[in-house]
Amino acid sequence: MTSRDCPLCTGSGGELVWQGADHRVILADEPRHPGFCRVIWRAHVREMSDLSSVDAARFMASVLIVERVLREQLAPDKVNLASLGNVVPHLHWHVIPRWVDDSHYPDPVWAPARREAPGRTIDAAALSDALREALSHT
């Protein structure tokens, strides 16, 4: 996949919450998993080891800020962090709040659903505001 074919190079990847010089944070359109965020590196690179140590540390700091804000705002039972990129080989981290009653728990969100989603809703505007506030200090 080249940067011209990459959906993370040609599109936002979801609802843009915050953007810095080299990465952005989006709320993904994942109705069964409210609060699902992605932290996406701006340049088309495949792996964390493609980044300098300074860039990797800054990028991971944002991943951890997103996790912290999700925990504070949504009080999930667990937060999953994943950097797979098998389908879209563009460096990004998934930051996914999980609850024991969500449709896939305890399996990954990509596994077959075990049950109906509980219909959990979140205040996306308040979450976005909290994320922007926390990330603005990076």
What is the predicted pLDDT for the residue at 95?
Answer: 98
Distance of CA 5 to the CA centre of its chain: 21
- Going along the chain from its start, the domains and CATH numbers come out as 7-135 (3.30.428.10)
37-58 residue pLDDT tens: 999 999 999 999 999 999 999 9
pTM, rounded to two decimals: 0.94
97-118 residue pLDDT tens: 999 999 999 999 999 999 998 8
61 Cβ neighbours under 8 A, 6+ residues apart: 138
